[in-house]
Amino acid sequence: MPPLVGQRRWTALLRTISIVSRNNAGIGNSSPLIDVEMEEVTRIFDTNVFAAIRTAKVVIPHMASRKCGTIVNVGSVAGIMPSPWGGIYAASKAALHSLTDSLYMECKPFNINVVLLAPGAVRSNIATNQAPHINVPPDSLYKGYYDHILDRLTRVQENNPMPTEVYASKTVNAVLRTRPPRYMSLGKMAGWAKVFSWLPRGWVLNMIWSQLGEGPRRAALKTQ
């Protein structure tokens, strides 16, 4: 097929797109921030942030020409309230939240809806997929926290997360509305993330550290 013909077909396809969901297959990470290799940091941001920008640059001109369309970016409650051992992932999601808010405003003149999803705990394979990639080198400052990093990762999926099909059904029904919500957060802990955002930041960070960082380590030492 000649390149020009292929380009025309691709352009025609883009003109028919009404809804784009981006970043639903993001990359996570559970490791101390300073132990994450820069190559991994780049890979996470490339998938969770830069890919969303690339997608927007491709589809928005075609949606704008039709004065309609919906863009859905999948963030995370981690982008609102980070926790220890997940700093790189949380930073990538916070960046996605900010650029989605900017897109929401910039797409107003073209009648394009922009939706940010910030799921809490939803049933998935995230713990299984990330566990082999926890990076705590033998000389790490955090080598004594490895078991608790793993526990933090697996606890979310063991503590009654929202069933995947329930989350999918609620989300799809909302996104398909004529006027979908600008922001939507569902799943276990989604409500707590909102409450935490209202409280003094330092108090919340210290409390999370005591629950997921130093507290579990000290408790384990007492049982030895």
Q: What is the CATH number of the domain that holds 26?
A: 3.40.50.720
Rounded-to-integer distance, Cα 173 and Cα 33, Å: 37
Mean pLDDT over 195-223 rounds to 82
The answer to whether residue 163 is domain-embedded is yes
Is 4 contained in some domain?
Answer: no
200 occurs within a structural domain: yes
Q: How far, in Å, CA of 89 to CA of 149, rounded?
A: 14
Whether 3 is covered by a domain: the verdict is no
Beta bridge partners of 137: none
Q: Once rounded to an integer, what is the mean pLDDT over residues 158-172?
A: 89
Residue of higher predicted confidence among 13 and 154: 154
Q: What is the pLDDT of residues 128-162, one digit of tens each?
A: 777 777 888 999 999 988 888 888 777 777 778 89
**Measured between alpha carbons, how far is 145 from 157 in angstroms, rounded to an integer?**
20
High-pLDDT (> 90) share of the chain, %: 54
**Confidence category of residue 10, pLDDT binned at 50, 70, 90:** very low
User: How confident is the model at residue 37, as a pLDDT?
Assistant: 93
Selected residue with higher pLDDT from 114 and 133: 114
> Is 104 one of the annotated active-site residues of the chain?
no
CB 186 within 8 A of CB 167: yes
**Mind listing the pLDDT tens digit for each residue in 72-89?**
999 999 999 999 999 999
Q: Tell me the average pLDDT across 162-183.
A: 92
**Above 50 in pLDDT, residue 1?**
no
- pLDDT for 15 equals 55
In a domain, 192, yes or no: yes
| pLDDT tens-place string over residues 92-108 | 999 999 999 999 999 99
Q: Considering 89, 104, 142, 167, which one is annotated as catalytic?
A: 89
Tell me what the mean pLDDT of segment 169-173 comes to. Answer: 93
In which element (H, E) is residue 184 found?
strand 183-184
For the chain, give the mean pLDDT: 85
Domain count, the chain: 1
- Residues 170 and 152: their CA atoms lie apart, in Å, by 27
Burial 53-62 (b: 16+ CB within 10 A, else e): eebbeebbeb
In a domain, 172, yes or no: yes
Q: Is residue 10 part of a domain?
A: no
Q: Are 116 and 171 in contact (CB under 8 A)?
A: no
Q: Is it the case that residue 14 has pLDDT exceeding 70?
A: no
* Spatial strand order in the sheet of 19-22: 19-22, 70-74, 113-117, 183-184
* Residue 84 resides in a domain: yes
The three-class DSSP label of residue 70 is strand
Q: Which two tokens stand for residue 194?
A: 């909102």
Range of the domain at 76: 18-218
193: confidence class by pLDDT, cuts 50, 70, 90: confident
Quote the pTM value.
0.85
